Copies of this chain bind each other. A is one copy, B any other.
Amino acid sequence: MSDKIFSYQQLHSFTLNVFLKMGCCNEDATLATHVLLMADIRGIDSHGIARLVGYVRLWEAGRINATPNIKIIHETPSTAVVDGDKGLGLVVAPRAMQIAIDKAKQVGTGWVSVKNSNHFGIAGYHAMMALSQDMIGMAMTNASALVAPTYAAEKMLGTNPIAVAVPAGKEAPFVADFATTTAANGKLEIAQRKNESIPTGWAQDAEGNPSNDAHILKQGGALLPLGSEKELGSHKGYALGSIVDIFSAVLSGASFGPWVPPFPAYVPMPENMPGEGLGHFLGAMRIDAFRPAADFKSNMDLWLHIFRNAKPANGHEKVYVAGDIERTMEEERMKKGIPLGNEVVTDLMQLADKFALTL
């Protein structure tokens, strides 16, 4: 039952070949591979190669277009709406982010809302594209409904993540990337596999009562917004998830709320969808559109330094800044390889069979 270790190169070569077999052009397959595996490298295992078989199934079901015509359908100097043409979110989102970056070069900031897309991997990848340009990057996406609003018994929102990447000088950058829920669905899946209960505050049952059952979502339950309950601020997590849904989908014309298309291809599409596909929202702000880049970086270095060196609480050794743990994981996994669980390896072996590839 122990994990197997794969090198990045092994997984890269295999994933690239799968996307090529799906009919992606070389450029798109390379980009999609890079985005997808960034999750595995940074330790967000639920969003990486574990989902490769899911993308293939969506393609087989005709819900993903391997040769999309990704295009701007409306724009101003600082904004655009992109139609992803049902392309892989792994390809659509970085293309849209590049448009945001290009607009920021021209007028200081760029903001792109995307429709007709699907799962885009980790939000952090797209936000981090801005770093090498001396820009702050932002990325969000809506997702199929798993989360109940505060006081509600219904699943109305996805885990709707937000990522913000901020460049610095000598210090490593600030990279926040988080679901707007108390816990991501991947954490429930881990508890399910181990047959463990989940902490109070992660989920509720079909009536809206607190639940410690890791399987409760299959019985009509829901994840809870960041904050867990009203007294601890869950209406704030609910507001954040709402903002992600509105910016990603109501601004672009994608589907929203309970109508966001599901990731598993066996789940039927929602009826009466008010928009097209999943939505994303991507932004880039040039730091020198506000103040000289050297001044910003010098202050940002100081900011990062004092937070990384804050006095730890009882029982802790260190205070982290957003992205520190993922960056350490990235360094480790690029050296030592990426561990994959048995279920993931089995899925990949089936893909290898299907496409006559070797893992």
Contacts and interface: CB of A to CB of B under 8 A. Distances in A.
Interface stretch (A38-46, A250-258, A333-341, A342-350): A250-258
Contacts of A164: 239, 243
A203 to B, nearest CB: 12
Contact of A250 (B228, B245, B303): B303
Interface string A229-266: 00111011111101101110011110011100000000
Contacts of A156: 306-307, 310
Nearest to A259: B306
A108 B232 contact: no
User: Could you say how many copies of this chain the assembly holds?
Assistant: 2
Contacts of A245: 303
B109 A246 contact: no
Nearest to A204: B313
A99 interface: no
Given A150-B320, A251-B287, A314-B208, A306 B258 contact: yes
A243 B240 CA distance: 14
A137 to B, nearest CB: 12
A120 interface: no
B176 A243 contact: yes
Nearest to A230: B316
Interface in A171-215: 174, 176, 178-183, 199, 201-202, 204, 207-209
Contact of A108 (B77, B176, B322): B77
A119 interface: no
Interface of A: 74, 76-79, 81, 107-109, 111, 113, 136, 148-154, 156, 164, 166, 174, 176, 178-183, 199, 201-202, 204, 207-209, 226-228, 231-233, 235-240, 242-243, 245-247, 250-253, 256-258, 274-275, 285-287, 289-291, 295-296, 299-300, 302-303, 306-307, 310-316, 318-322
21 contacts: A74-B291, A78-B289, A79-B109, A79-B286, A79-B289, A149-B310, A150-B319, A152-B313, A152-B316, A164-B243, A166-B250, A176-B240, A201-B231, A209-B314, A227-B227, A235-B320, A235-B322, A246-B303, A250-B299, A250-B300, A274-B302
